[in-house]
C-alpha cells in the first residue's frame, strides 16, 4: 500500500490516510458572538467530503479578549458549542478525524478587543504589552482547558493547541518574548511549562482517549531548543506534533541541499527525524501539488502532510493525491484570498466554478 493511503492510528483514532487539512481562519464569517456561521459549516463539510484523513478546524478563541477580531469564532462559552456539532457530524459521516485548534492571541491581541498581555512586557506593533502574573497565567490555562472540554462536548476527536505563528503559547516558548525568571521562563522546560500544564489539564478533564495535538514551533529561537520544548509537550501527554513557524525566522541550515521543499516544511522533516516511532509528526507550508505530498510521505520524511492553501483552492485536492483525479491548483497568490481584509475571491475557486 502506498504510504499516502496507509492508515495511521493516533491515540486510538484511525486516520484513513496521511493527508490532513490545516487550520486556516475564515475572517469575516462569524459574528461578534463568536458562533460559527452556516458558511463555516458548509466550508468544512465540503472539504471532509473529499477524504482527508484528518481535518482541523481553524483557530478558535479560548477567551473573548484573546480573539483576532470581533468576528473570530470561539469556544469560551457554552452557547458556542451547538454549531460545532454540525461540523463534527459531517466529518464523522465521512470517517474523517476532526480536531479544533485552540488559541489566544496574547501580546498581539487587537487593543480594540482586549489588552495585549504575554509572558513578559515587550514592545509589540500596538505598543508595550503587559506581563501576566502567575494567577493570570493559571486563569488562561483554565480557559484553554475549558475550551477543550467544550470541544469534546461538540463531538471533536481532540484539540490542537496553537503553539506557533506568534500567539500566546509561542510567546512563552520564544526567548525574545519570554524574559521571565520564574518557573515559566528561562530553560526550555520552563518556557514549555505554560502549554505542558494545559496538556495535562486537558488530559485530566477530557480523558485518556481524547487526542491532544500541538501545532508547535520549530525555530524559536532554534531547531534544537524547539525540539527540547516539544519533548516537554510529549512528556505531558501530547499525542501528535504538527510543526510550523514562529516569531523567529528558521535557520538556513534546517534545509538540506537539494531538498524539494521550503524551510518551514523542513522543520517538520527535522522533527520527524527525532520523534520517529514515538509521536506522529506533520509538516506544512508551500505544499500545493500532489507530487510534493507523495514525495514527503513515500520517502518517510513525515507521518502526515498538513495542507492549507491547496485544499482552500480546491477541496478535491486530497483525491488528486490519492487517485490522480483532476483538481485546480492553488495560484500561490502573495496574499491568500482567504486571509484578512481581502474583498476578492480565491481565483482557483472561481476557476472551479467555470
Catalytic residue list: 167
In angstroms, the CA 95 to CA 205 distance is 25
Contacts of 133 (CB under 8 A, 6+ apart): none
Given a contact cutoff of 8 angstroms between Cβ atoms, the answer to whether 313 and 329 are in contact is yes
The candidate with the shortest Cα–Cα distance to 13, out of 101, 100, 95, 102, is 95
In angstroms, the CA 276 to CA 333 distance is 34
In angstroms, the CA 234 to CA 18 distance is 21
CA 246 to chain centre: 12
The alpha carbon dihedral of 219, 224, 228, 234 has a sign of positive
Cell of residue 27, nine digits = 475572517
Contacts of 208 (CB under 8 A, 6+ apart): none
In angstroms, the CA 303 to CA 142 distance is 31
CA 24 to chain centre: 8
Tell me how far apart the 2 most distant CA atoms of the chain are, in Å: 59
In angstroms, the CA 97 to CA 157 distance is 6
Partners of 283 in the β-ladder: 305
Amino acid at each position: 500500500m502506498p504510504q499516502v493511503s496507509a492508515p495511521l492510528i493516533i491515540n486510538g483514532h484511525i486516520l484513513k490516510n496521511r493527508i490532513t487539512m490545516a487550520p486556516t481562519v475564515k475572517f469575516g464569517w462569524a459574528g461578534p458572538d463568536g458562533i460559527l456561521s452556516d458558511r463555516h459549516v458548509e466550508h468544512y463539510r465540503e472539504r471532509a467530503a473529499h477524504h482527508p484523513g484528518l481535518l482541523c478546524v481553524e483557530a478558535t478563541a479560548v477567551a473573548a479578549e484573546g480573539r483576532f477580531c470581533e468576528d473570530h469564532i470561539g469556544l469560551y462559552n457554552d452557547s458556542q458549542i451547538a454549531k460545532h456539532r454540525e461540523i463534527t457530524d459531517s466529518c464523522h459521516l465521512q470517517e474523517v478525524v476532526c480536531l479544533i485548534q485552540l488559541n489566544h492571541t496574547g501580546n498581539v491581541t487587537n487593543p480594540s478587543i482586549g489588552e495585549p498581555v504575554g509572558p513578559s512586557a515587550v514592545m509589540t506593533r500596538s505598543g508595550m504589552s503587559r506581563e501576566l502574573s502567575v494567577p493570570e497565567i493559571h486563569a488562561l490555562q483554565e480557559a484553554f482547558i475549558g475550551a477543550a472540554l467544550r470541544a469534546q462536548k461538540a463531538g471533536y476527536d481532540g484539540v490542537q493547541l496553537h503553539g506557533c505563528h506568534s500567539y500566546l503559547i509561542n510567546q512563552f516558548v520564544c526567548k525574545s518574548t519570554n524574559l521571565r525568571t520564574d518557573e515559566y521562563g528561562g530553560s526550555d522546560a520552563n518556557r514549555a511549562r505554560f502549554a505542558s500544564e494545559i496538556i495535562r489539564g486537558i488530559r485530566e478533564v477530557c480523558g485518556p482517549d481524547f487526542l491532544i495535538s500541538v501545532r508547535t514551533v520549530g525555530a524559536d529561537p532554534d531547531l534544537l531548543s524547539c525540539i527540547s520544548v516539544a519533548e516537554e509537550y510529549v512528556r505531558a501527554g501530547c499525542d501528535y506534533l504538527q510543526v510550523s513557524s514562529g516569531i523567529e525566522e528558521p535557520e538556513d541550515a534546517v534545509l538540506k541541499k537539494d531538498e524539494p521543499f521550503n524551510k518551514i516544511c523542513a522543520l517538520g522533516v527535522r522533527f520527524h527525524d527525532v520523534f520517529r516511532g514515538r509521536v506522529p509528526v506533520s509538516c506544512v507550508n508551500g505544499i500545493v501539488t500532489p507530487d510534493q505530498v507523495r514525495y514527503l510521505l513515500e520517502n518517510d520524511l513525515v507521518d502526515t502532510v498538513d495542507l492549507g492553501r491547496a485544499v482552500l483552492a480546491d477541496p478535491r485536492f486530497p483525491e488528486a493525491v490519492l487517485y490522480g483525479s483532476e483538481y485546480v491548483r492553488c495560484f500561490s497568490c502573495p496574499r491568500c484570498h482567504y486571509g484578512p481584509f481581502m474583498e476578492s475571491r480565491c481565483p482557483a475557486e472561481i476557476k472551479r466554478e467555470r
